[in-house]
Amino acid sequence: GQQLNQSPQSMFIQEGEDVSMNCTSSSIFNTWLWYKQDPGEGPVLLIALYKAGELTSNGRLTAQFGITRKDSFLNISASIPSDVGIYFCAGQSEIQGAQKLVFGQGTRLTINP
């Protein structure tokens, strides 16, 4: 089946540092998504990417949809304490009229003040 490899699995950084994480897949997706999950909550969408090569920003977050459609990265600049959480990439493809998601294993971000 489809699988996403997300790295790194965890990151321990100082407040103010930049963060970079990425996902690769053996399959092509028509959409890449990045979600963040806080403790005790469900994943919340951060950025959606719809076209190969697309580079999109949302505040301090920047994400790119790889040109091969099999990878994506997420960068966070100037990290702050509220960035702590688990970040998931997800590849989206259409199956029988519904957009089906495959998730990466997640990157757990810890920030030292």
Partner 1 sequence: DAGVIQSPRHEVTEMGQEVTLRCKPISGHNSLFWYRQTMMRGLELLIYFNNNVPIDDSGMPEDRFSAKMPNASFSTLKIQPSEPRDSAVYFCASSPRQGWVKNIQYFGAGTRLSVL
Contact by Cβ (8 Å): 9, 107: yes
Q: Does 68 bind partner 1 (CB under 8 A)?
A: no
- Of 81-110, binders to partner 1 (CB under 8 A) are 88, 92, 94-106
Q: Is 44 in the site for partner 1 (CB under 8 A)?
A: yes
Q: Does 41 bind partner 1 (CB under 8 A)?
A: yes
50 counts as binding partner 1 under rule CB under 8 A: yes
CB-neighbour burial class of residue 37 (10 A; exposed 0-12, middle 13-18, buried 19+): middle
Among 21, 23, 33, 76, binds partner 1 (CB under 8 A): 33
> Quick one: 42 exposed, middle or buried, by C-beta within 10 A (0-12, 13-18, 19+)?
exposed
The 10 Å Cβ neighbour count of residue 75 is: 15
Judge contact between 25 and 91, C-beta under 8 A: yes
CA distance 13 to 48: 25
CB of 72 to partner 1, least distance (A): 16
- Per CB under 8 A, the segment of 15-23, 26-34, 54-62, 68-76 that binds partner 1 is 26-34
By the criterion CB under 8 A, which residues form the site for partner 1?
30-31, 33, 35, 40-45, 48, 50, 88, 92, 94-106
